[in-house]
Amino acid sequence: MAQSDTVDRILNAAEELFAERGFSETSLRMITSKANVNLAAVNYHFGSKNALIQAVFARFLTPFSETLDKAFDDLERRCKGEPPTLQQTLWVLTESAVRMPHRNEKGISIFMRLLGLAYTQSQGHLRKFLEQEYSEPFGRLMRLLKAGTPQLSAVDRYWRIQFMLGATAFTMSSSDALREILENKLGIDTTVQEIAARLVPFLAAGLQADDPISVPKTA
Amino acid sequence: MAQSDTVDRILNAAEELFAERGFSETSLRMITSKANVNLAAVNYHFGSKNALIQAVFARFLTPFSETLDKAFDDLERRCKGEPPTLQQTLWVLTESAVRMPHRNEKGISIFMRLLGLAYTQSQGHLRKFLEQEYSEPFGRLMRLLKAGTPQLSAVDRYWRIQFMLGATAFTMSSSDALREILENKLGIDTTVQEIAARLVPFLAAGLQADDPISVPKTA
DNA sequence: ATAACCATCAAACGTATGTTTTAAACATAC
DNA sequence: GTATGTTTAAAACATACGTTTGATGGTTAT
């Protein structure tokens, strides 16, 4: 073949297995046998397992950050100087994620699950890589969230953004299982888009909650 | 010695290392050398690494579920037939977690981090163990949450509880890292109690958000 | 005193991991 | 058609893992 697709097959298999099982729990042999390539191919093409992990993230994060950047440009153009509202920012964010071209119908939930894992699993090299490569679009999102919640102190905003990321990554990462449970329990089918549509008002309300750090009614 | 403290030393070391690094990333050799016991002691006293993981959870989850049960009894008694409000339920939950007797000042954050890991890391045996052992207090919490959000449809409530669990588990599972980032950025030190106190109003507001499934302003 | 029991220890076991090596097959350019 | 650089293949590498073994010492009960 003119150009081998070995690299892509490895990336596809690794992406799926990482999302299912986490990084440490996924061996190179699982990946290469799922991808139907030789074991040595990973180290040949990527150099190491850690570099493969980073490559998996780069493959979807790079186009996503470009899409997001353009969508934010669009949003700010429509707002003509006025800072975008929190709901607008959140909606552009979820829309960009959902609208990304995905390799299959599981793409969006794999995407989310990987983001959650990047935060959760203590992979020092990954955190460094993501901070170096994607600090700019991340910073832009943070600035927009800040503009959308001018009433919050920096500390309040920081924590509430963490809560927001948690709710999103967690829900999306297990959206398949959650959708299935709901289907069995109430006979209702839900799309990822609908989940996102439910998530946005939840997050917006949480981010903007009045916050007289509630005192217990306990005696 | 009359009674060896080997078991407790193993549990203490394991608890701390699991919380720091996750389960797969923590080897028995790390644990036994931190605990200053022989490598074989783990398999002798617990049988296997998985059984040790479960024992670590049981040691704090069993007393916690008893404390929580009594606190819910208390709450319902104070409410005299009226269903407790959502804020009351959430507050009793976090209060019970915070008020638990802990072995040291890191105890509460280790507790939280482990709970987050239990959700996040795909340890099949752990999930089964927790479901079997603690289904009753978990079910009670779910019933109270339902009573506290009577205005929600079953579907809305289902998803919003998932969002809530996600925000909590995710934040708690990376609370150390998040606290550290905040310390470096703004020079502010945060206790786990403060995080919990910030989380409650966020969750309460999100759970009770008005929900006219927001339509994008996008063209 | 002696037997039974339990906890500890160093050492080894078998397995699985990430990585490297060697040779063969391949496509492409001359 | 042969040479060249690239990709695959199979095997072996060293290392780390969870677990098991068999000997040893100490405590308890008979």
> Are B64 and B97 a contacting pair, CB within 8 Å?
yes
Q: Which residue intervals of chain B are DSSP H helices?
A: 6-21, 28-35, 40-45, 49-79, 86-99, 107-120, 124-148, 154-173, 175-186, 192-207
CA B184 to CA B94: how far, in whole Å?
27
What pLDDT score does B141 carry? 94
Nearest Cβ partner of A163 from B20, B122, B202? B202
Q: Is the pLDDT of residue B111 over 60?
A: yes
Q: Is the pLDDT of residue B140 over 90?
A: yes
Closest CA to A169 of A91, A97, A105, A96: A97
What pLDDT score does B212 carry? 56
In this complex, is the C-beta atom of A216 within 8 Å of any C-beta atom belonging to chain B? yes
What pLDDT score does B170 carry? 83
Number of residues assigned to chain A = 219
> Are A164 and A206 a contacting pair, CB within 8 Å?
yes
The token pair that represents B9 in the structure block: 């030393």
In this complex, is the C-beta atom of A167 within 8 Å of any C-beta atom belonging to chain B? yes
What pLDDT score does B84 carry? 94
In this complex, is the C-beta atom of B124 within 8 Å of any C-beta atom belonging to chain A? no
Q: Is the pLDDT of residue A188 over 60?
A: yes
* Residue range B208-219, pLDDT digits in tens: 998 655 444 443
Q: Is the pLDDT of residue A3 over 50?
A: no
CA B164 to CA B204: how far, in whole Å?
9
Q: Is the pLDDT of residue B39 over 70?
A: yes
Q: Of the ranges A112-126, B37-51, B175-189, which is most confident?
A: B37-51
CA B14 to CA A123: how far, in whole Å?
19
Residue nearest to nucleotide C26 (CA to C1'): A1
Distance from CA of B175 to the nearest CA of A (A): 10
- In chain B, pLDDT over 70 holds for what percent of residues? 94
**Cβ of residue B61 lies below 7 Å from strand D:** no
Q: DSSP 3-state helix, strand, coil percentages of chain A (rounded to 5)?
A: 75, 0, 25
The token pair that represents A218 in the structure block: 């306990």
**Which residue bears the tokens 């966020």?**
B202
For A85, phi then psi, to 5°, come to -75, 165
Q: Give one word for B80, left, alpha or beta, with left for phi > 0 and alpha for psi -120 to 50.
A: left
Q: Is the pLDDT of residue B65 over 80?
A: yes
Distance from CA of A106 to the nearest CA of B (A): 18
Interface test with A, best of B78, B198, B199, B208 (most A CBs within 10 A): B198
Interface test with A, best of B117, B170, B173, B194 (most A CBs within 10 A): B170
The overall average pLDDT reported for chain A is: 86
Question: How many Cα atoms sit within 13 Å of B29 on the Cβ side?
Answer: 0
In this complex, is the C-beta atom of B77 within 8 Å of any C-beta atom belonging to chain A? no
Q: Return the higher-pLDDT residue of B17 and A131.
A: B17
| Span B54-80, average pLDDT | 94
Q: Is the pLDDT of residue B189 over 90?
A: no
